[in-house]
Amino acid sequence: MSSDRKKIPDPPTPVPSTGNLLSNVAPPLQLPNFVTAVAEPMPTSQREPVEHPVPVQPIVIQQPTKIDQQASEKFCPAIPPSKGTPLMSIRSPEDSETAQTPESIPEISPEMDSFSDIMPGTGLLTWVKGAVASGGILQRVAEKAKNSVDSMITTLDPQMKEYLKSGGDLYIVVASDKDVKVSPIREAFQTVFGKATVVGFAAQSDVTAAQPVGYAAAYAAAKQRLADLRSRHSEITNNVPLVAVESFLHEAIADRWYEMSLMILSQPSLGVELQVQSQGAGVPGAAVSAAAAATAPSYPHAQTGYSLTVGSIMADSLQVPHTDWQEASTGVSRREILLLAAKSLAGSYKRVLAVSAAET
């Protein structure tokens, strides 16, 4: 047992340190230097010349291409200058000494004749001039472009429509200065004739009642407006067409009343007088009875109508301006009603002018 204990070594005995822990660390060594020394540049005179390789041009051996004479005759994308234009051949000095007879001149081939028929003048400029002169596709394209530009301008500024379509040879005078009458007549004549100058002047009528009843009373009032306009404006000659508009009441059947407008175009120089009636707007019998009750028995024009207009009665009843009662009552404005009648009048007048021009 004592021998086993002798085999086991004794544990090491710690040696007490003489200082702290850092005092036993060795001092740092010098770090290695990885920066290489910069060599001095070699003088240019001592450098060896560098030889640059000279580029070698490749030698391309081209095989002579064989031109197929028949293939070149069968198809050619360009028209040769000799096609369609008979060119005289250059004569040699020996041939010039001899006279040239009509039999010796070569005849034009049928191929040249057909080409000349397709393009007379054998030039694009000649074809363009002919297309414009005959009113062909180029003129239609230009007209469409102009209409597109005008449409764009009038969409951006509706007031430009009157300026763009004013002018031309047609001059129309309306016997009224109210826009509700002048505007639809202007639009109708400019639509039918393309361009037209339409103006309006105030005109009075004192031969009928304020509210005419019946076609005869409306016709008399319209004729009076035309006569008043010509008498007060010396510049309006008999060659100037005048248009007058007069509204009136029409009783279709018992107690069924309609407000309509009579439109007359007069041009004494041609002996023309055209008349159209507008679409009717229904008027309640109570409104007509109110107008009749408001008219005094002593009214000078009681035989031709009433002293109070139906428009003022309908406007008070519907609480709208007197020019808008048709739209409030029927859904169609008075301007639209007059526009449709004015288009019919303008179309009839255009036909009369065409017949008059054909006779002269």
- Does 209 lie in the same domain as 130? no
Same domain, 286 and 253: yes
DSSP letter string, 50-70 = PPPPPPPPP---PPPPPP-HH
Same domain (yes/no): 133, 199: no
Average pLDDT over the chain reads 77
pLDDT of residue 152: 63
Identify whether residues 214 and 323 lie together within a single domain: yes
Distances from the Cα of 57 to the Cα of 50, 60, 109, 183, angstroms: 22, 9, 52, 85
Contact call for residues 338 and 345 (beta carbons, < 8 A): no
Looking at residue 251, what is its pLDDT?
Answer: 93
For residues 265 and 273, give the distance between their C-alpha atoms in angstroms, rounded to a whole number: 5
Residue 114 lies in a domain: no
Residue 276 lies in a domain: yes
The β-bridge relationship of strands 211-212 and 197-200 is unpaired
Is the pLDDT at 172 greater than 70? The verdict is yes
pLDDT score of 54 more than 70: no
Query: Taking Cα atoms as reference points, which of 181, 183, 209, 170 lies closest to residue 349?
Result: 170
pLDDT score of 183 more than 80: yes
Q: What is the mean pLDDT of residues 185-196?
A: 92
In this predicted structure, the answer to whether residue 181 has a pLDDT above a threshold of 90 is: yes
Same domain, residue pair 132 and 201? no
Could you tell me what percentage of the chain is helix, strand and coil, using 3-state DSSP and rounding each to the nearest 5?
A: 45, 15, 45
Domain-terminating residue out of 137, 159, 181: 159
Q: Are 225 and 288 in the same domain?
A: yes
Query: Residues of the chain with pLDDT > 70: what percent?
Result: 54
pLDDT at 287: 94
Domain count, the chain: 2
The mean pLDDT value for 139-155 works out to 63
Q: Same domain for 147 and 252? A: no
Residue 155 has pLDDT above 70, yes or no: no
β partners of residue 211: 306
Q: Is the pLDDT of residue 190 over 80?
A: yes
Q: Judge whether 23 lies within some domain.
A: no
- 206 domain residue, yes or no: yes
Whether residue 294 is contained in a domain is answered as yes
The domain that contains 182 carries what CATH number?
3.90.950.10
The alpha helices in the chain, defined as continuous H runs, are 2-7, 69-74, 93-96, 110-118, 124-133, 137-156, 160-165, 179-193, 215-232, 285-294, 310-318, 325-330, 334-359
- In angstroms, the CA 20 to CA 26 distance is 13
Same domain, 150 and 258: no
The one-letter amino acid at 253: I
Report d(CA 224, CA 235) in Å as an integer.
18
Residues 230 and 277 in one domain: yes
More confident call, 112 vs 252: 252
In a domain, 86, yes or no: no
Residue whose pair of structure tokens reads 């450098």 in the numeric block: 47
At which of 159, 174, 205 does a domain end?
A: 159
- Residue 125 pLDDT exceeds 50: yes
Q: What are phi and psi of 50, to 5 degrees?
A: -100, 125
Residue 40, classed as helix, strand or coil, is: coil
Q: Per the domain annotation, does 138 fall within a domain?
A: yes
Q: Are residues 320 and 189 in the same domain?
A: yes
Among 135, 159, 183, give the residue marking a domain's end.
159
Encoding tokens for residue 166? 């004013």
**Domain, as residue range, for 137:** 126-159
DSSP structural state of residue 91: P
Q: Would you call 246 helix, strand, or coil by DSSP? A: strand
Residues 183 and 308 reside in one and the same domain: yes
Q: Is the pLDDT of residue 94 over 70?
A: no
Among all chains, which residue has been given the structure tokens 């009783």? 251
Closest CA to 345 of 269, 280, 249, 278: 278
Per-residue buried b or exposed e for 166-205, using 16+ beta carbons within 10 Å of the residue's own CB: eeeebebbbbbeeeebbbbbbbbbbebbeebbbebbebeb
- Over pLDDT 90: what percentage of the chain? 46
What number is the average pLDDT over the span 62-75? 54
Extract the tokens encoding 42: 């070699």
* Residue 359 pLDDT: 81
225 & 300 share domain: yes
Q: Quote the pLDDT of residue 198.
A: 93
- pTM of structure: 0.57
Asked whether residue 29 is assigned to any structural domain, the reply reads no
Number of H helices and number of E strands within the chain? 13, 8
pLDDT at residue 255 in the model? 87
